[in-house]
Amino acid sequence: MFYELNDEQNSFRKKVREIYEREVSPLVEEYERKETFPVQLFRILGAEHLLCLRCPKEYGGPGLDKVSECIAVEELNRICVGIGAGIMVQGGLATDPILHFGSEELKKKYLSPAVRGEKIGAFALTEPDAGSDASGIRTTALKQGKGYRLNGLKTFITNGTICDFVTVAAYTDPARRGTGINLFVVERDDPGFSVIKKLRKLGNHSSDTAELAFDDCYVPKERMLGEEEGGGLGQLEETLKSGRLTYGARSTGVGQAAFEAILSYAKKTRRQGQPLSKSQAIRFILAEMAMSIEAMRYMTYRGAWLFDQGLASMKDASIVKLFCSESVQSIVQKTMTIQKNSGLRMDNPVQRFLCDGRLSKIPEGTSEIQHLVIAAGLGL
């Protein structure tokens, strides 16, 4: 049973915090303002063995567990959610399907360079008319010769304009709703693959997000994940289960950053001649925020521990995602309430926490979808 992090995991937290503070923190303001991702971080963090953390050592990865991955995700997103998004996709959605369902050839070709930060990965599931409902996608991959022709549009794709390869969900048999899906690895230079445009967003400004097009994009059969047509929906579900647990850590990191900012503000700010921290109302709010963060953290790491034991269900993952993404909304709102007008200034990170935190309710399945998954897990 999970109770708390062990000494090795606590040492790992200290290590990654030091690295992220040194390598990531100095970049945040510049790249949030430029609304671009600092691509040099891929090789920097690759050299520190902080990409694709659960990738086995045989492919160059550190081979860590899910709990350790969540520790790193929390610490990175405590500093910057936008930058955290690109790193999370590299080590999760883009490469997890290749690791678990790809051939040995695909693993060697894509995982090792991704671990080193030499190749950047993306994951393309969401479409203009299909998001949380994966079975509603319209992109097709129809067999032609020794490969497949992909046709369709994908949107809100993290790392979309900077990726070297993208793991794409498409229907090999559109008549089989859901069960007729497969995953393919598309390379940036494949004819028919193009980036339509880069997207501007409410938050996550330093995250590279794009719309992608596949126009008769030919992919050899060897780059399909799995031996047979169909089965992609199950692959997506396993990938999303892991990702939803990761999002618990992401939300916890944002909540921790917001709490640290407002705690410092309350200690040094005076109103009506008294330190703000002496106000009982403010102290109660801060106490509730601290309580929420501890609950988010425990729930996330318990879920990660269950995942490591092979016991986590989709319901467990959705509970973590829903609770943490909803809890962080309350935390950032309370932070803004205490700071009042000061929280609206663009040079104040609190406004960034508010925007970034709001987006946590959408990726990896919206809060509404998490409710449905949990209800189904209850037999309803």
Which domains does the chain show, CATH number per domain? Answer: 7-116 (1.10.540.10), 121-230 (2.40.110.10), 233-377 (1.20.140.10)
Q: Which helix (H) or strand (E) holds 143?
A: strand 140-144
- What's the pLDDT score for residue 275? 85
Which residue in the list 104, 228, 364, 368 is annotated as catalytic? 364
pLDDT in tens, 272-284: 888 888 899 999 9
- What's the pLDDT score for residue 218? 97
Determine which of 114-123, 157-166, 175-184 has the lowest per-residue pLDDT on average. 175-184
**Residue 3 pLDDT more than 90?**
no
Report d(CA 24, CA 20) in Å as an integer. Answer: 5
Q: What confidence category does residue 250 fall into, taking pLDDT thresholds of 50, 70 and 90?
A: very high
**Residue 374 pLDDT more than 80?**
yes
Does residue 29 have an active-site annotation? no
Give DSSP secondary structure letters for 221-281: GGGBSSSSSS-HHHHHHHHHHHHHHHHHHHHHHHHHHHHHHHHHHHHH-EETTEEGGG-HH
pLDDT in tens, 31-46: 999 999 999 999 999 9
Mean of the per-residue pLDDT values of the chain: 94
- What's the pLDDT score for residue 272? 80
**Residue 2 pLDDT more than 80?**
no
DSSP state of 3: -
**Residue 1 pLDDT more than 80?**
no
Q: What confidence category does residue 343 fall into, taking pLDDT thresholds of 50, 70 and 90?
A: low
- What's the pLDDT score for residue 123? 97
**Residue 193 pLDDT more than 80?**
yes
Total Cβ atoms within 10 A of residue 129: 11
pLDDT in tens, 49-62: 999 999 999 999 99
| C-alpha distances out from residue 276 to 74, 285, 319, 330, 358, Å | 28, 12, 35, 20, 27
- Where residue 28 falls (left for φ over 0; alpha for ψ -120 to 50; beta otherwise) is alpha
Helices (H), the chain: 7-23, 28-34, 40-47, 66-79, 81-91, 96-101, 104-106, 112-116, 232-268, 280-308, 314-339, 349-359, 367-377
Selected residue with higher pLDDT from 344 and 102: 102
- What's the pLDDT score for residue 351? 86
**Residue 380 pLDDT more than 70?**
yes
64: tokens are: 């860590």
Per-residue pLDDT, averaged over 182-205, amounts to 95
Selected residue with higher pLDDT from 43 and 232: 43
**Residue 347 pLDDT more than 90?**
no
8: tokens are: 């090795």
- Exposed / middle / buried, residue 281 (Cβ in 10 Å: 0-12, 13-18, 19+): exposed
**Residue 4 pLDDT more than 90?**
no
